Structure 1
Amino acid sequence: MAATIHITQVFQLLFWCACLYSSRLASGADYDEFDFDGLPGVQHEFKIEVPAGGEECFHQKVAEGANLHMSFEVLRGGTERLIDVVIRNPTNFIVEGHYGKPEIVIQHLVEIAGVYTICVDNTFSRMASKLVYVYIITFVPAEWTKYVQEIEDMDMTVSNFTHSISEVQKSLEEAKLHQASSRMNVVKDWYLIMGNNSYIVKWSIAQICVVVCSSVFTVIFVRRLFKIPNVTPSQKPRA
């Protein structure tokens, strides 16, 4: 079980949360740009220990026209585990009051922008403290719809980008296959050229040898045809 969050810690959390978006919600006009960490609403979830005979209050800044949803559930304390919850608007008027219940769910449409006070009351219990689970979420419907549309548009853009990347990847794979095929063809052509070159060189050398031998034989044969001795067979000078 998570550690119990005391009221001082809750105040510190709300203080820092308020500081984060106070620049946007400083005036009434700024509520048209209601934002919290880039989101069109706020959300808190924590546990709070309410002492016996005591009351714990915390504050939440809410934009005009926002939906305020709160859930309270007594986790531990007493036999019946009952609690009172009161919500006051910025004018200190009680807009919601729920008494003597172990579990409370509140849906409230905010008409006045400002800081709302939420009090968890345990004054009727003199003996037992109460551990209360608190869940709060507030958002402007128009801003939320716009935010959802932006998310959908972003998802569509991401999908289109992913599709484009996939097409590019597919084209790159096809280009790689084409390059591999081209390299294989180049190697095949190189071996074919080298084989043809070797064949031509060998036949050229053979033909050169044949031509040289033919030329030598022709020269010798012709010379022998024109070779006439100076004497006759009887050793007489030829006339």
Structure 2
Amino acid sequence: MAISTKPLPLLYFLCFLQMTSSEKLGGSLPDFEFDFDALPGTQHEFKIFVKAGEEECFVQKAAQGANLHVQFEVLRGGDRTINVVLIDPNYQIIHHLPYQTDGKIDHVAVMYGAYQFCFDNTVSKLAGKLVYIYIVTYVPEEWTKYVKEIESVSASVLNFTGALAGVQTSIEQVKLHQTESRMHVIKDWYLVTGNNRYIMYWSIFQICVVIFTAIFQVFCLRRLFRVPTMTPTSKPRA
């Protein structure tokens, strides 16, 4: 089997790189601009269908010293075997896995540039192959720095979460105190209303007693000073 190492412009995976996140992989990459959400590496996971008698290649940019990891598995199609090669930016084959159902490639990039991952199905003239692919590219130093930053952020988040928990506890205590105060206000309102009703009824009763007593006293005094104008013999009293 002859595997072509010439660049395949139509097979460059530029559309895939545009659709997925991009990241500056550390090191000096003057020709590439990555922005993978500030992550220290790239990660791609997808499925492709390699037609019978054809070859599919994908391009992954990597910085010098970056680790390249490719894992694949033929899900269906014919004898479920395929040829896999890794080509460096100088179009030299650096890894070749012939007739594999599944496998992986680990490589440390000695130069920055575009690395090609080619899946060759030219030996199969009738059956296409459905292949699952998982690609990871990262710089170990940047990854270690990223992990430390994540741990620092996690510690800050834990502290912030603890502060929020304390605030939430204080809010719950305030709500409890407000509920208790509201219950005391209701109790005091009923007490004041009851006292007001008692005083009002008692005052009305006392007013009635005073009025009745005054009327009775006037009546008694008038009875005491009532003098008849006629004698028992029906003669005018002198």
TM-score by length of 2: 0.69
2:18 to 16, 25, 42: 16
Aligned length: 225
**C-alpha contact 2:72 2:132 (8 A) present in aligned 1:** yes
Deviation at 1:113, TM superposition (A): 1.2
Q: In the alignment, what sits opposite 1:70?
A: 70
CA 1:148–1:207 in structure 2 vs 1: closer, same or farther (change >3 Å)? Answer: same
Q: In the alignment, what sits opposite 1:4?
A: none
Amino acid at match of 1:202: Y
Deviation at 1:121, TM superposition (A): 3.4
Cα offsets for 1:151-191 (capped at 9, x unmatched): 44444444444554444444444444443433333333222
**C-alpha contact 2:85 2:96 (8 A) present in aligned 1:** yes
Task: Give, in whole Å, the separation in 2 of the partners of 1:186 and 1:64.
Answer: 74
**C-alpha contact 1:50 1:121 (8 A) present in aligned 2:** no
CA 1:38–1:171 in structure 2 vs 1: closer, same or farther (change >3 Å)? Answer: same
Amino acid at match of 2:189: W
Task: Give, in whole Å, the separation in 2 of the partners of 1:224 and 1:83.
Answer: 137
Q: In the alignment, what sits opposite 2:209?
A: 210
Larger relative helix fraction: 1
**C-alpha contact 2:62 2:109 (8 A) present in aligned 1:** yes
CA 1:43–1:50 in structure 2 vs 1: closer, same or farther (change >3 Å)? Answer: farther
Deviation at 1:116, TM superposition (A): 0.9
Q: In the alignment, what sits opposite 1:104?
A: 103
Structure-to-structure mapping, 1:111-190, within 5 angstroms? 111-123=110-122, 125=123, 127-129=125-127, 131=129, 132-190=131-189
CA 1:72–1:29 in structure 2 vs 1: closer, same or farther (change >3 Å)? Answer: closer
TM-score by length of 1: 0.68
CA 1:223–1:49 in structure 2 vs 1: closer, same or farther (change >3 Å)? Answer: same
Give the SS at the match of 2:91: coil
Deviation at 1:70, TM superposition (A): 0.7
Q: In the alignment, what sits opposite 1:3?
A: none
**C-alpha contact 2:13 2:57 (8 A) present in aligned 1:** no
For structure 2, which runs of at least 5 residues remain unmatched after alignment? 1-8
- The root-mean-square deviation of aligned C-alpha atoms, in Å, is 4.0
Q: In the alignment, what sits opposite 2:86?
A: 87
Task: Give, in whole Å, the separation in 2 of the partners of 1:93 and 1:9.
Answer: 17
CA 1:105–1:236 in structure 2 vs 1: closer, same or farther (change >3 Å)? Answer: closer
Determine what percentage of the aligned residue pairs are the same residue. Answer: 46
